[in-house]
């Protein structure tokens, strides 16, 4: 039986200028899920709700089978979090960071932590504030890996990282899920990172859930349609999402089944970026 490591059901949160509405998705054990969408789509809000940093207005969130509010203390023993920057005091050394944090964990593995530091070329004596972006991310990973975390949540971990560091991160994530017993939720607006490695995708736009399911299904669900300006019939433009018209052509996203009816037009499999862009531009969202 597939165990679900993360389950959101009809989660809702309102702010004065933004509402996250009816978000439901599931991440099974052993896989990587990308949480994607443009900035302001609601990704960070969703993660804050999962961590109970914000109180949800409505809905259920279950992490590793435990309620995110009622069993918060228990479930946080087994999750690791990587933020886009260190959530530590700059003046702490790495060794002091360990001393400050490790008492909170029942299963802290000091030796594993030291091994990870060595592997990442981090010295325990370095002050946390002096670490580069890439090293900060590695420190957060080292901490996450040192206490039996079964679910790893990353919130925009790669912004500001060079391509090599991003590649190293993806490799570590794939290593992390290798035993089939761990899952990763990776929130990012840099989708090229996820394109090949993510098993599942949940896409948000303007606080709404646009898609959740396997990466493969997402890419098969849509096509990018292109053609000459005069080929854009009013009927066709009704189906196109994020329509872009210029003097020399038009393009947009269209449901793959609908695309079948319009043979003779260019109809490509989209990249994740294209899906996000056209959907964020909006219009004709099914």
How many angstroms separate the Cα of 196 from the Cα of each of 159, 170, 182, 193, 221? 18, 10, 19, 7, 17
Least Cβ distance, residue 178 to another protein (angstroms) = 5
How many angstroms separate the Cα of 256 from the Cα of each of 16, 52, 108, 262? 37, 38, 49, 10
Per-residue mark of binding to another protein, 129-148 (x: CB under 8 A): --------------------
Q: Which residue in 215, 259, 272, 275 binds another protein (CB under 8 A)? A: 215
User: Quick check: 63 binds another protein (CB under 8 A)?
Assistant: no
The gap between the terminal CA atoms of the chain, to the nearest Å, is 33
CA distance 199 to 3: 16
Q: Which residue in 123, 132, 174, 233 binds another protein (CB under 8 A)? A: 174
Query: 84: burial class by Cβ within 10 Å (0-12, 13-18, 19+)?
Result: buried
CA distance 4 to 109: 26
User: Quick check: 74 binds another protein (CB under 8 A)?
Assistant: yes
Number of residues that bind another protein (CB under 8 A): 50
248 SS3 class: coil
Per-residue mark of binding to another protein, 19-48 (x: CB under 8 A): -----------xxx---------------x
User: Quick check: 199 binds another protein (CB under 8 A)?
Assistant: yes
User: Quick check: 89 binds another protein (CB under 8 A)?
Assistant: yes
Q: Which residue in 55, 235, 248, 264 binds another protein (CB under 8 A)? A: 55
Least Cβ distance, residue 286 to another protein (angstroms) = 24
Q: Which residue in 111, 180, 246, 286 binds another protein (CB under 8 A)? A: 180
Question: How far is CA 152 from its chain centroid?
Answer: 11
CA distance 52 to 56: 8
Residues 100-129 contacting another protein, CB under 8 A: 100-101, 103-105
Stretch that binds another protein, among 50-58, 117-125, 157-165, 253-261 (CB under 8 A): 50-58
Query: 175: burial class by Cβ within 10 Å (0-12, 13-18, 19+)?
Result: exposed
User: Quick check: 184 binds another protein (CB under 8 A)?
Assistant: no
72 SS3 class: helix
Residues at the contact surface with another protein, assessed by CB under 8 A: 15, 30-32, 48, 51-55, 72-74, 76-77, 79-81, 83, 85-92, 96, 99-101, 103-105, 170-171, 174-175, 177-180, 196-200, 214-216
């Amino acid at each position: 039986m597939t165990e679900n490591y993360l389950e959101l059901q009809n989660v809702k949160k309102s702010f004065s200028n933004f509402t996250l509405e009816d978000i439901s998705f599931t991440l099974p054990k052993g896989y990587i899920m990308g949480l994607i969408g443009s900035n302001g789509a609601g990704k960070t809000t969703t993660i804050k709700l999962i961590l109970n940093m914000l109180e949800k207005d409505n809905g259920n969130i279950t992490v590793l089978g435990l309620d995110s509010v009622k069993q918060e203390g228990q479930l946080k023993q087994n999750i690791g979090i990587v933020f886009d920057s260190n959530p530590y005091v700059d003046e702490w050394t790495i060794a002091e960071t360990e001393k400050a944090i490790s008492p909170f964990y029942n299963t802290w593995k000091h030796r594993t932590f030291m091994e990870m530091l060595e592997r990442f070329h981090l010295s325990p004596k370095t002050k946390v504030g002096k670490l580069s972006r890439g090293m900060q991310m590695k420190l957060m990973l080292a901490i996450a890996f040192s206490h039996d975390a079964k679910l790893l949540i990353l919130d925009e971990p790669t912004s500001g990282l060079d391509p090599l560091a991003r590649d190293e991160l993806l490799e570590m994530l794939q290593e992390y899920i290798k035993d089939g017993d761990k899952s990763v939720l990776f929130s990012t607006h840099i989708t090229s990172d996820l394109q090949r490695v993510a098993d599942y995708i949940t896409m948000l736009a303007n606080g709404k859930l646009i898609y959740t399911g396997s990466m493969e299904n997402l890419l098969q669900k849509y096509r990018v349609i292109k053609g000459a300006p005069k080929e854009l019939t009013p009927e066709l433009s009704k189906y196109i999402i994020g329509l872009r018209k210029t003097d020399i052509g038009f393009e947009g996203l269209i449901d793959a089944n609908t695309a079948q009816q319009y043979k003779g037009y260019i109809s490509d499999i989209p990249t994740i970026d294209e899906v996000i862009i056209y959907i964020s531009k909006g219009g004709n969202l099914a």
